[in-house]
Structure 1
Amino acid sequence: MSLLEQRYRRVLRLLPATYRAEREDEMVSAFLDGAHATADEDNPRPHWREIASVAALAVRIRLGANTTRPRHHAWGQAVRLAVLGGLGFYAATGVWTATRPPLDGTLTGLPATAAAGVVMAVAFALLATGRVRAAKTAAAVGLVPYAVEVALAADRLADMLSRPGKPSPARLPLDAVPLLVMAVPFVLVAAFAAGYHRDVRPPRLPAAVAVAPVAAGLAVAVAERAAIWLIVPTGALGEGWHWIAMWVSEAGLACLALAGAAAAHTVARLRTGRHSAAVPLALALLSAPAALIAAIRIAPGAAGEIADVMNLTAAGQALLLALCCLAMLTVGLRSLPPAPPPAQLRPAD
């Protein structure tokens, strides 16, 4: 076996084992036929375009839309549901952030993250109505404000670390929260590009679903404003608001939404007896980063009543999300169809 053939076979390890067992020799032969004859002494390597094509094929297979490969289809459906849910959440929180009142009852304006969330609302509506390419473009545009915020947060953190009086180790996780929170949308858009590939049929959801995140964001903003108007006249805002402030935040709302969705899915699963893997796996994929964000908000060295309440609430949210993630991942993995033997694998679409 030549050195070039060895390297081609190494690249093909990106593909599932069952697929390689069916097509590896054929693909290696095609690659070698298209390559220029090169001796091992010349240290030949696969072209980057060939590597990219194999990687793209691996993504399409592992996140497939072909029901003849039920295991890959289930993972593909899980990623696509997670993308739809993630876009919907950012759409709802973007509308909420753009319209929510501060403690004095006036509007907050439209910060960069709120503007990004509004763009995500457009991306969600486009995706829900089957316009996948336009939705990908809108989601990519929505990353621009996050990129600016990530750069600013990284600069602030680097400046703090370079000062003589560096932040304490207990303070560092809290200072890193903005970086982690604003990195999640980039992972979401990458999953969007990978999950909704060219083999996937565009979704066609009811029009009510397309505007549901906007309605949810407005409902949260109205509820928050009503709570402030009810509490402020009693003079209890400063005393009791910190008990619910951690829940009226993106992390808190994510915790409530995911815990509620996991509970609803569990009840529906027990009632109907259906054992779909895609929904619990999607909830696990969404719960994992949310649990990490909740956990990193804990500041063990902080002191004071408010700090204690915030730490306790963040710990509770992290634990709840971790349990949701573990439970949904267990249920989803157990519901996955068994992997087919190599002989039963059909050619790729």
Structure 2
Amino acid sequence: MRSNLENRYRRLLRVLPRWYRDEREEEMVGLFLADRTDDLDLEHGRPGWGETGATLALAVRTRLAASAAPDRAVVLGDVVRLVAMVGLLVQLSYAFRWFGQALTSTAVESPGAPAVPVAVNLVLVGGPLAMFTGHRTLAKVLAVLTALYGVVVVPLTDGPVAFLGLLWQVPMWATAAALLVGFHRDAPAPAGRPWLWACVPAAVVAADFGALTSSSAVVVFLSATAGELVPLVVIAAGAVRLVRGGSVAWTFALAVWSVLLLPVELWYLTLYLSYPSGTALTVFLAVRTAVLVVVAAALVVAGLRGLRRPPLPVTP
């Protein structure tokens, strides 16, 4: 008959995927109980904090596997890691944009443009560059600092700018979370050089008209469109993926980013609907938002179809 302590250990092990439990559960329970033979402990004892933490970490490594796991676990791990890497590029792009605005302090007076301190932008730039050059621990620390800024500082701002700032933090939080859980100790380091080269177009995507002081309708339109090219890049990448096919992980990662960008897109669309003189920009934003939704849905469908194919051999 099982003791209460054994039952508690088995409940703890349910955080592990079934394929892993089928192979290792009995062995792990035996190791957990090896030194806990006291009857009172077997009746009232509980798993230790160290054992619980180690099991939760193992659950992350096995559910977001990089190798030696069923194909779907590896795909899910690859999706999370790609979401993190794409998120770092997006973060870098926005940081360059805000950094330029903060330095010039002459940003176009478009509605709802949040002010981001220079020091924060340095952290936003440092995180991606640290990751792309192989410094994963530093990248994770900077990602946590970025997330804390969004949690602690942004809500203290008043008015609609604060709400937009919070919406912009959602992708930052997703990037930080994906970075922390996706790049565990068993995950391979990303190939740094391609991502470093990708920083160049990311900086171009961040091209902004912040140095212009005019507030004419033409300049506002150019600022809102050129300064927000990230959704267009995601749409273009998603369209290429749908036409040419390819990795299921990339398909799902682009779908995730299409969804993550939607809240800010909808906020801008709602905002410009209240400006009668911004008809052209409103139409542009409406079309872009609609296309983003369609591409996201198509990517999800394509990804699910890809998962139904015969599984690939388990990576040794």
Scaled to the shorter chain, the TM-score interval is 0.7 to 0.9
Aligned match of 2:72 = 71
CA displacement at 1:301 relative to structure 2:
11
Matched with 2:181 is 194
Q: Is the 8 A contact 2:272 2:278 kept in 1?
A: no
Question: Is the deviation greater in 31-40 or in 275-284?
Answer: 31-40
Report the Cα offset of residue 307 of structure 1: 7.3
Q: Name the SS for the 1:136 alignment partner.
A: helix
Whole-Å separation in 2 of the counterparts to 1:34 and 1:47: 13
TM-score norm. by structure 2 comes to 0.79
1:1-349 equivalent positions in 2, closer than 5 A: 1-35=2-36, 37-39=38-40, 43-66=44-67, 68-100=69-101, 102=106, 112=116, 115-141=119-145, 143=146, 147-148=148-149, 150-156=151-157, 176-206=163-193, 209-214=195-200, 216-218=202-204, 220-221=206-207, 224=209, 238-249=216-227, 252-269=228-245, 275-297=246-268, 299=270, 303-306=274-277, 315-336=286-307
Task: Report the AA paired with residue 17 of structure 1.
Answer: R
CA distance in structure 2 between the partners assigned to 1:320 and 1:34 by the alignment? 60
Q: Which sections of structure 2, spanning at least 5 residues, go unmatched?
A: 110-114
The CA deviation at 1:190 is 2.0
- Identity over aligned residues, as a percent? 27
Q: TM-score, normalised on structure 1? A: 0.73
The answer to whether the Cα contact below 8 Å between 2:62 and 2:69 also exists between their aligned partners in 1 is no
Rounded to whole Å, the distance in 1 between the matches of 2:143 and 2:162 is 27
Residues 28, 193 of structure 1: alpha-carbon distance in 2 compared, 3 angstrom cutoff? same
RMSD between aligned alpha carbons?
3.7
* Number of aligned positions between the proteins: 307
The Cα of 1:244 is off from its aligned counterpart by 4.5
Aligned partners of 1:123 and 1:136 also within 8 Å: yes
- Residues 284 and 36 of structure 1, relative CA distance in 2, 3 Å threshold: farther
- Give 3-state SS (helix, strand or coil) of 1:83's partner: helix
Please state whether the residue corresponding to 1:224 is helix, strand or coil.
coil
Shift of 1:90: 0.9
User: Any idea what SS the aligned residue of 2:46 has?
Assistant: coil
Instruction: Please tell me whether the aligned partners of residues 18 and 345 of structure 1 are also in contact (alpha carbons under 8 angstroms).
Output: no
SS at match of 1:199: coil
Deviations 1:164-212 (A, max 9, x none): xxxxxxx8xx863322322432331121111111112212332x64153
Q: Which amino acid aligns with 2:13?
A: L
Partner of 1:272: none
Change over 3 Å in CA distance of 1:136–1:90 after alignment to 2: same
SS, match of residue 192 in structure 2: coil
In 2, are the aligned partners of 1:90 and 1:117 still within 8 Å (CA)? Answer: no
Three-state SS of the structure 2 residue aligned to 1:247 is helix
Structure 1 window deviating more from structure 2 (67-76 vs 14-23): it is: 67-76
User: 2:200 and 2:35 mapped to 1: Cα distance?
Assistant: 52
Stretches of structure 1 that go unaligned for 5 or more consecutive residues are 106-110, 161-170, 270-274
SS class of match (1:197)? coil
Whole-angstrom CA distance in 2 between matches of 1:304 and 1:31 = 65
2 CA distance for matches of 1:73 and 1:281? 13
Q: Describe the SS at the equivalent of 1:94.
A: helix
Q: In structure 1, how many angstroms separate the alpha carbons of the residues matched to 2:117 and 2:308?
A: 40
| Cα drift, residue 329 of structure 1 | 2.0
Q: Which amino acid aligns with 1:224?
A: F
Q: Distance in 2 between matches of 1:8 and 1:305?
A: 63
- The alpha-carbon distance between structure 1 residues 339 and 56, as it changes in their structure 2 partners (threshold 3 A), is farther
In the TM superposition, what whole-angstrom CA distance separates every residue of 1:232-288 from its partner, at most 9, and x where no partner exists? 5xxxx5233444544344xx333112101111222332xxxxx42111111122222
Secondary structure of the 2:229 match is helix
* Residue matched to 1:168: none
